[in-house]
């Protein structure tokens, strides 16, 4: 059965109602929508395809950052690139917009690898927040740590973490407050020399921490990453060098987002040789070794 058919019962089309639209520096926004069907099936790594405005012909794909099945809402973090998301940022509380979702194969954490390392860069941060919340709520004793990097100001006010993490370079204490409140350690990397942040690439920060682990601790590690392609490449290289498994979420230009148009295909290595896979429904999450 093709993926588009197997998704028939789990991708919903519904009118999302804007509950909240919060603006952050550098044209970043957090949007919360009442969309109970999407919220009921959303998983970390899945995304929704949103109509930004009736005047914008194509939908735009955005990763789901948080979802509450009980309260029926989903939340997104986005940065305006062009016309579509600019229109989306103009939607106000009470407005409705058509959305399809949740779409795509989510991250799947392996219970034999309790030490989950989450790496998010820029607008790749949202699925990492979702995965962190999922790990927190799951009954398995996961031990997540989250590294986030951004070249522009973070869409939250960072603060010194209350959670000590051995192996982190001195002075790197800035965290995402929400994760700290959940009891999940996080550390930030920023190219703009923000206080408390690692001055460099988020993957180098993750590398410094992983290098401090002994063989037993390293054997427990699995990496999950979402962000710009150069960051994902560096993450895949890090995972290969440290010999740990790694799942990455890819971004591709999308038209239908339900597997029908082949507009989003990428070449993937499979045991039977190279194959073309659709990022929308076969991904967006792939094993890093198959795509890099």
Ligand X SMILES: Cc1cc2nc3c(=O)[nH]c(=O)nc-3n(C[C@H](O)[C@H](O)[C@H](O)COP(=O)(O)OP(=O)(O)OC[C@H]3O[C@@H](n4cnc5c(N)ncnc54)[C@H](O)[C@@H]3O)c2cc1C
Please give the residue ranges that form the binding site for ligand FES (CB under 6 A): 254-257, 259-264, 278, 280
Residues that bind ligand X (CB under 6 A): 47, 58, 60-63, 76-85, 123, 126, 251-254, 284
Min separation Cβ 2 and ligand FES, Å: 11
b/e map of 163-202 (b: 16 or more CB within 10 Å)? eeeeebeeebbbbbeebbebebbbbbbbeeebebbbeebb
Min separation Cβ 60 and ligand FES, Å: 12
Nearer to ligand X, 23 or 219 (CB): 23
278 makes contact, choosing from ligand X, ligand FES, none, with CB < 5 to 8 Å by partner type, with ligand FES
Contacts within 8 Å (CB) and 24+ apart, 83-86 = 83/56, 84/52, 84/53, 84/56, 84/58, 84/60, 85/52, 85/60
**DSSP-assigned states of every residue in 29-46:** EEEEEE-HHHHHH--TT-
In the three-class reduction of DSSP (H, G, I as helix; E, B as strand; rest coil), residue 269 is classed as: strand
Nearer to ligand X, 191 or 263 (CB): 263
Min separation Cβ 56 and ligand X, Å: 7
Min separation Cβ 57 and ligand X, Å: 9
Extract the tokens encoding 48.
Answer: 């929704």
> For the CA atoms of 258, 260, 261, 265, what is the dihedral angle to 10 degrees?
70
259 makes contact, choosing from ligand X, ligand FES, none, with CB < 5 to 8 Å by partner type, with ligand FES
Report the candidate in 31, 42, 38 with the shortest Cα–Cα distance to residue 15. 38
Distance CA 292, CA 288 (A): 6
13 makes contact, choosing from ligand X, ligand FES, none, with CB < 5 to 8 Å by partner type, with none
60 makes contact, choosing from ligand FES, ligand X, none, with CB < 5 to 8 Å by partner type, with ligand X
Min separation Cβ 280 and ligand FES, Å: 3
Extract the tokens encoding 202.
Answer: 């988020």
Nearer to ligand X, 68 or 212 (CB): 68
Nearer to ligand X, 45 or 174 (CB): 45
102 makes contact, choosing from ligand FES, ligand X, none, with CB < 5 to 8 Å by partner type, with none
263 makes contact, choosing from ligand FES, ligand X, none, with CB < 5 to 8 Å by partner type, with ligand FES
Instruction: For residue 127, report the phi and psi dihedrals to the nearest 5 degrees.
Output: -65, -25
User: Distance of CA 66 to CAs 42, 72, 212, 232, Å?
Assistant: 9, 11, 31, 22
Nearer to ligand X, 210 or 257 (CB): 257
Nearer to ligand X, 121 or 174 (CB): 121
Distance CA 227, CA 171 (A): 25
Min separation Cβ 90 and ligand X, Å: 12
83 makes contact, choosing from ligand X, ligand FES, none, with CB < 5 to 8 Å by partner type, with ligand X
Phi and psi based region of residue 122 (left: phi greater than 0; alpha: psi -120 to 50; beta: remaining): left
Nearer to ligand FES, 5 or 69 (CB): 5
Min separation Cβ 123 and ligand X, Å: 3
């Amino acid at each position: 059965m093709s993926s588009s058919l197997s998704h028939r019962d789990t991708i919903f089309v519904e009118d999302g109602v804007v509950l909240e639209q919060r603006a952050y520096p550098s044209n970043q926004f957090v949007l919360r929508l009442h969309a109970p069907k999407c919220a009921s099936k959303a998983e970390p790594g899945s995304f929704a395809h949103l109509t930004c405005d009736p005047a914008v012909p194509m939908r735009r794909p955005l990763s789901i950052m948080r979802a509450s099945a009980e309260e029926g809402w989903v939340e997104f973090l986005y940065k305006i690139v062009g016309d579509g998301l600019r229109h989306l940022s103009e939607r106000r509380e009470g407005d409705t917009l058509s959305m399809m979702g949740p779409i795509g194969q989510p991250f799947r954490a392996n219970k034999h690898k309790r030490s989950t390392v989450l790496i998010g860069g820029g607008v790749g941060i949202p699925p990492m927040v979702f995965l962190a919340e999922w790990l927190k709520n799951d009954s398995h004793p996961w031990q997540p740590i989250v590294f986030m990097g951004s070249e522009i100001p973070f869409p939250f006010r960072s603060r010194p973490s209350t959670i000590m993490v051995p192996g982190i370079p001195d002075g790197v204490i800035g965290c995402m407050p929400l994760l700290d409140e959940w009891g999940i350690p996080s550390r930030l990397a920023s190219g703009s020399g923000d206080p408390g942040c690692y001055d460099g690439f988020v993957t180098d920060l993750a590398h410094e921490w992983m290098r401090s682990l002994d063989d037993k601790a390293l054997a427990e590690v699995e990496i999950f990453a979402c962000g710009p392609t150069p960051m994902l490449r560096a993450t895949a290289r890090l995972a290969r060098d440290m010999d740990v498994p790694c799942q990455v979420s890819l971004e591709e230009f999308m038209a239908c987002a339900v597997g029908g148009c082949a507009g989003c295909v990428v070449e993937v290595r499979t045991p039977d040789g190279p194959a073309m896979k659709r990022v929308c429904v076969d991904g967006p999450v792939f094993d890093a070794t198959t795509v890099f």
